[in-house]
Amino acid sequence: MCVLLPLAEACYGFRDMTFLSWLAMIGAVAIAALADAVSTLWARNPTELSVYLFLLLLLGPLVFFCFGLVTRHVGLAVTSGVVNSLLVVTSMGIGLVFFGEWDRLSVWQYCGMALAIAGIVLMLFFPKVHP
């Protein structure tokens, strides 16, 4: 994160982003990715009331709280584009690494993941410049 802050602050659109905004963006993605992983574990036996269901009920509101903090600074369009894309990429990474789903994706799906990463870079580092 220390590497991204100076780069983002150099971009026109991110002068207003505070450390709290960056922390909220990373937190929203991390908490949502954790919730995705926990929901995968819970889905293995969804009829059972388990600790996984309890964790999901705790994690859900935290995701939206962090999302709201980021939206306050950069707006809904950028926040949705970045946070949701980062969540997709992060959750796919968790599925690949921790759940061993390497053979479940096609080449086109890997291409889609690469395009999602390109979209994140474009949304974060190439904002609209006002005259």
Q: What percent of the chain has pLDDT over 70?
A: 85
Query: Any idea which of 2-6, 15-19, 20-24, 48-52 has the lowest mean pLDDT?
Result: 2-6
**Which residue type is seen at 116?**
A
| Calpha distance 122→42 (Å, rounded) | 35
For residue 129, name the pLDDT band (cuts at 50, 70, 90).
confident
For every residue of 77-108, DSSP letters joined together read HHHHHHHHHHHHHHHHHHHHHTS--GGGS-HH
**Backbone torsions φ then ψ of 111, nearest 5 degrees:** -65, -40
* Tens-digit pLDDT profile for residues 60-96: 888 888 888 888 877 888 888 888 888 888 888 888 9
pTM: 0.68
The residue to which tokens 């949705």 are assigned: 80
Q: What is the per-residue pLDDT for 3?
A: 44
